[in-house]
Amino acid sequence: MLTDEKRKLELMAATIRKTALETIHTAGSGHIGGSFSMADIMAVLYFKAMNVDPKNPDKPDRDRLVVSKGHCSPVTYATLALKGFFPLEHLKTFRQIDSDLSGHVEIHVPGVDMSGGSLGQGLSVALGMAMYAKANHINNYVHAIMGDGEIEEGQIWEAAMCAGFYKVNNLIAFVDNNKIQLDGRLSEVMDPNPIDEKFRAFNWNVINVNGQDVEEIANAIDEAKKCLDKPTMIVAHTTKGAGVSIFEDTARFHGGQPTPEEYEQAIKELDDRIASLEV
């Protein structure tokens, strides 16, 4: 990856984080930790990898994304707004009674391919989309992003078995392995590790990456597209709340909100990061 392209993706990831945080702040609620850990994946997907057109959000041969960890609507809506699917101003209505931007990701929002929220179900939906594309000879890729806590749900493994069995190689999924779920660390609540070996056992092409490194994420997606006989699982090793020091590696900001002082500090950190990446 060219240095300038990497810088632009990093800048986008920081901008996505700031936009998501402002969206949550205006609403007064929303999930920071899981949104921030997957922000770099979203930047790479929507600003490099995915074939989507904000002017034609329903075009049939587009690439698709199922945000299976549907509580991470702030990062999803921020990314889609920055991509141009709807005005940034609209984010101010997040979680309001008369808005389509509900607390969990909604199919009715332009650019969203499927609703999410009931955990463990999105990988199956993405698998269905990918199987549809293959059956109809559509050359596209379908993505899904799951939380690492989410893969404690049994349905994930039904989908894993099926995708491997049908060799659905246009399915490129991610586990946002930020190591913390609502009640605490996975290692204390319920540990799904080793994640990579499990998906390999279900006949997946598995790639481990630093999920906060846009270049590694982009390279993994390129590598996934070369695999012709297996679905790909990109295990993204991430930090919950990544990108703001006080949000990092804690369950407190899974759904909890920062104090006004913490919010100001977070915005400052993100502004500094954005300034350092702007030329």
Partner 1 sequence: MGENISTRVAYGRALAEFGDRSDIYVFDSDLKSCTMSMYFAEKYPERFFNIGIAEANMVNIGAGFATCGATSLVHTFAIFAAGRVYDQVRNDVCYPGLNVKVVGSHAGLTVGEDGATHQALEDMSLMRTIPGMTVICPCDDNETRLAVKAMLDYKGPVYFRTGRPAVESVTGDIPGYSFEIGKGCQLRDGSDVTLIACGLMVQRTLKAADLLAAEGISARVIDMATIKPIDREIIVKAAKETGAIVTAEEHNIIGGLGSAVSEVLTDECLVPLQRVGVNDCFGHSGHPNDLLEHFGLTPENIAANAKKAIARK
Q: Which two tokens stand for residue 105?
A: 């990701």
Dihedral sign from CA coordinates of 227, 233, 239, 243: positive
Provide the minimum distance between the beta carbon of 135 and partner 1 in the complex, in angstroms, as a whole number.
7
Looking up tokens 């002017």 gives 55
Q: Which residue has the tokens 């969990």?
A: 104
Q: From the list 1, 88, 131, 274, which residue makes contact with partner 1 (rule: CB under 8 A)?
A: 131
Told to check if 121 binds partner 1 by CB under 8 A, we report: yes
Choose among 226, 216, 174: nearest CA to 195: 174
Considering only 2, 97, 135, 279, the residue that binds partner 1 (CB under 8 A) is 135
Scan residues 144-203 and list those touching partner 1 (CB under 8 A).
Answer: 154-155, 158-159, 161-162, 165-166
The nearer residue to partner 1, 170 or 239, going by C-beta atoms, is 170
Q: How many CB atoms lie within 10 A of CB 55?
A: 7
> Would you count residue 132 as binding partner 1 (CB under 8 A)?
yes
Encoding tokens for residue 62? 């587009």
What would the x/- binding string for partner 1 be over residues 42 to 81, using CB under 8 A?
------------------x-----x---------------
Q: Is the peptide bond before 194 cis (omega within 30 degrees of 0)?
A: yes
The minimum distance between CB 100 and partner 1, in angstroms, equals 13
Number of helices (H), then strands (E), belonging to the chain: the values are 10, 7
Residues at the contact surface with partner 1, assessed by CB under 8 A: 60, 66, 107-108, 113-115, 117-118, 121-122, 124-133, 135-136, 154-155, 158-159, 161-162, 165-166
